[in-house]
Structure 1
Amino acid sequence: MTPTSMTVPPVPSLTRCFDVVVHLGPIEDHGPTRVGHRRVVPISGGEITGDIEATVLPGGADWQVVRPDGTVELDARYSARTRGGGLVLIHAAGVRTGTPKTLQALLDGSEVAPDSYYFRTQITLECAHDPELERRLFIGSCLRTRDAVRYVAYRVD
């Protein structure tokens, strides 16, 4: 049987939507737990620009699990207030990995070339003021600096 347009799912495309800078507090290292090496990174603020214009609010965090090979599983949740006053809950789940030397340099706060490690997230949004945002998935291409995470969010179309 030959595939037809009715049997082949569409190939997704990506559309650049917004840029995010999330300012981070010091890592809270919880050490080995029943789920792995747990770290919590507080979120102290930031900015979102592009299709969403908002200020990241303090109080969120990234709950991380560090795998034995050094790869970091990320689970960041934080809120932002739009210029119009609406609230957006952002959930970014993903992975950051690289060579042991590169991962240690990132942990030490050293400047590391973004193309020397892999850092991607899946982003979902909750917001009462723009329900269309809740109906889409976004992919983030990220980089880590000493005290911030920066990413570009692409809508998966």
Structure 2
Amino acid sequence: MSEVKTEHVLTARFDVPQIRDLGSGPFGTRRIATVTGGTFEGPGLKGTALPSPGGDWLMFTADGATHLDVRVTLKTEDGDLIYMTYGGRRHGPPEVMAALAAGEDVDPSTYYFRIAPKFETAAEKYDWMNHTVFIGTGRRLPEGPVYDIHRIL
């Protein structure tokens, strides 16, 4: 098998000021985080995250892991819209996960936070995103997540 090569596409920062706790159910504890804005930037790509609709349907499981299910609309500075959705996983030692849940700024090397984003757009300039596989690493800051997203070459 050959080595997998990637290229940085963008860094995204999402504002998530409120998380609604729906309580514990049969699959874990469900929380819904509202994305109220944010920014993204990379080589040849820059803009903002639109405030609505956008959110993260989080599931916290008994083993301490967080499962992400996110949908957000990006608007490039040249006016094009890009729909971004991703699933992901975040987990780590219990004390680290508790610090993240308390809104603390935690060293990202102490926990695992990965996403698999997909993009959809009608913009010809960004059509390449419709046909590309992406991966990302994340870190959670008190105001919201930050992702470094790469395309697999």
- Shorter chain as denominator, the TM-score bin is over 0.9
The within-5 A match list for 1:70-89 is 70-89=64-83
Aligned residue for 2:35, secondary structure, equals strand
Establish whether residue 48 from structure 1 lines up as the match of residue 40 from structure 2: yes
Establish whether residue 17 from structure 1 lines up as the match of residue 13 from structure 2: no
Corresponding residue for residue 143 of structure 2: 147
Corresponding residue for residue 104 of structure 1: 98
Structure 1 unpaired stretches of 5+: 1-7
Deviation at 1:35, TM superposition (A): 3.2
> Structure 1 length as normaliser, TM-score?
0.90
In percent, how many aligned pairs have the same letter? 30
- Cα distance per residue 1:61-109 (max 9 Å; x no partner): 0101111011000011100111111101111210000011100100001
CA RMSD of the aligned region, Å? Answer: 1.2
Corresponding residue for residue 31 of structure 1: 23
After alignment, is 27-36 or 75-84 more displaced? 27-36
Query: Within 1, Cα distance between the matches of 2:91 and 2:49?
Result: 25
Establish whether residue 123 from structure 1 lines up as the match of residue 117 from structure 2: yes
- Cα distance per residue 1:33-77 (max 9 Å; x no partner): 243211111001000101321110112001011110110000111
Query: AA paired with 1:14?
Result: T
> Which one of 63, 70, 95 corresponds to residue 89 of structure 2?
95
Equivalenced residues, count: 149
Query: Within 2, Cα distance between the matches of 1:75 and 1:53?
Result: 23
Query: Within 1, Cα distance between the matches of 2:51 and 2:27?
Result: 26
Query: AA paired with 1:147?
Result: E
Query: Within 2, Cα distance between the matches of 1:131 and 1:111?
Result: 36
> Structure 2 length as normaliser, TM-score?
0.93
Corresponding residue for residue 156 of structure 1: 152
